Amino acid sequence: MGHVEIWILTMCVIFQSGYGFYLPGSYPHKYVVGDPLSVKVNSLTSIDTEMPFSYYSLPFCKPKEGVKDNAENLGELLMGDRIENSPYKFKMYVNESEIFLCQSKKVSADDFKLLKKRIDEMYQVNLILDNLPAIRYTKKEGFMLRWTGYPVGVKVQNVYYLFNHLKFKVFIHKYEETSVARVMGTGDAVEVMPTVTKEGSDMPGHMVVGFEVVPCSVVHDGNLVNKLKMYEKYQSPIKCDPNAVSMPIKEGEPIVFTYEVAFEESDIKWPSRWDAYLKMEGSKVHWFSILNSLMVITFLAGIVLVIFLRTVRRDLTRYEELDKESQVQMNEELSGWKLVVGDVFRAPSNPALLCILIGDGVQILGMAIVTILFAALGFMSPASRGTLITGMLFFYLILGIAAGYVAVRLWRTIGCGDHKGWISVAWKAACFFPGIAFLILTILNFLLWGSHSTGAIPFAVFVILLLLWFCISVPLTLVGGYFGAKAHHIEYPVRTNQIPREIPAQKYPSWLLVLGSGTLPFGTLFIELFFIMSSIWMGRVYYVFGFLFIVLILLVVVCAEVSLVLTYMHLCVEDWKWWWKSFFASGSVAIYIFLYSINYLIFDLKSLSGPVSATLYLGYSLFMVLAVMLATGTVGFLSSFWFVHYLFASVKLD
Task: For 427-440, write each residue's pLDDT tens digit.
Answer: 999 999 999 999 99
Q: Which residues contact 36 (CB under 8 A, 6 or more apart)?
A: 89, 90, 91, 92
387 within domain boundaries:
yes
The low-confidence residues of the chain, meaning pLDDT below 50, are: 1-25, 178-201, 332-333, 654
Nearest-5° angle of CA 379, CA 380, CA 386? 145
Which of 412, 359, 399, 415 is closest to 633 using CA atoms?
359
Does residue 108 sit in the same domain as residue 145?
yes
Q: What is the pLDDT of residue 7?
A: 35
Last residue of a domain, one of 278, 305, 321: 278
Does residue 574 sit in the same domain as residue 439?
no
**CA torsion 323→324→326→332, rounded to 10°?**
150
d(CA 470, CA 438): 12
Contact between residue 162 and residue 247 where contact means Cβ atoms under 8 Å apart: yes
d(CA 518, CA 588): 5
d(CA 234, CA 385): 36
d(CA 155, CA 599): 30
Task: For 198-242, write each residue's pLDDT tens digit.
Answer: 344 456 789 999 999 999 999 988 777 888 888 888 888 888 888
Does residue 487 sit in the same domain as residue 585?
no
Does residue 98 sit in the same domain as residue 212?
yes
Does residue 219 sit in the same domain as residue 270?
yes
d(CA 369, CA 552): 8
Does residue 466 sit in the same domain as residue 544?
no
d(CA 495, CA 642): 17
d(CA 44, CA 7): 36
Last residue of a domain, one of 468, 491, 514: 491
558 within domain boundaries:
yes
Q: How far is CA 384 from the centre of its chain?
A: 14
Contact between residue 430 and residue 19 where contact means Cβ atoms under 8 Å apart: no
The number of folded domains in the chain is 3
Does residue 485 sit in the same domain as residue 521?
no
Note the pTM of the prediction, 2 decimals.
Answer: 0.80
Q: For the chain, state the CA radius of gyration.
A: 31
- CB-facing half-sphere around the CA of 581: CA atoms within 13 A: 22
Does residue 121 sit in the same domain as residue 155?
yes
Residue 206 structural domain: 35-176+202-278
Q: What is the pLDDT of residue 181?
A: 38
For 498, phi then psi, to 5°, come to -70, -40
Does residue 486 sit in the same domain as residue 515?
no
368 within domain boundaries:
yes
295 within domain boundaries:
no
3-state SS, residue 236: coil
284 within domain boundaries:
no
Q: What is the pLDDT of residue 301?
A: 80
By residue count, the chain amounts to: 654
| Strand 256-265 relative to strand 165-174, pairing | parallel
* CA distance between the termini of the chain: 65
SS3 letters across 58-105: CCCCCCCCCCCECCCCHHHHHHCCCCEEEEEEEECCCCEEEEEEEECC
Does residue 557 sit in the same domain as residue 456?
no
Contact between residue 571 and residue 578 where contact means Cβ atoms under 8 Å apart: yes
311 within domain boundaries:
no
Contact between residue 406 and residue 430 where contact means Cβ atoms under 8 Å apart: no
d(CA 25, CA 249): 40
51 within domain boundaries:
yes
Does residue 358 sit in the same domain as residue 466?
yes
283 within domain boundaries:
no
Task: For 439-457, write each residue's pLDDT tens digit.
Answer: 999 999 999 888 888 888 8
β-bridge partners, 259: 99, 166
d(CA 433, CA 357): 8
Q: What share of the chain is helix, strand, coil (3-state, %, to 5)?
A: 50, 15, 35
Q: What is the pLDDT of residue 186?
A: 37
Last residue of a domain, one of 261, 278, 295: 278
Q: What is the pLDDT of residue 35?
A: 93
Helix axes 579-587, 545-572, angle to 10 degrees: 140
Which of 173, 26, 191, 4 is closest to 92 using CA atoms?
173
Does residue 98 sit in the same domain as residue 206?
yes
Q: What is the pLDDT of residue 325?
A: 54
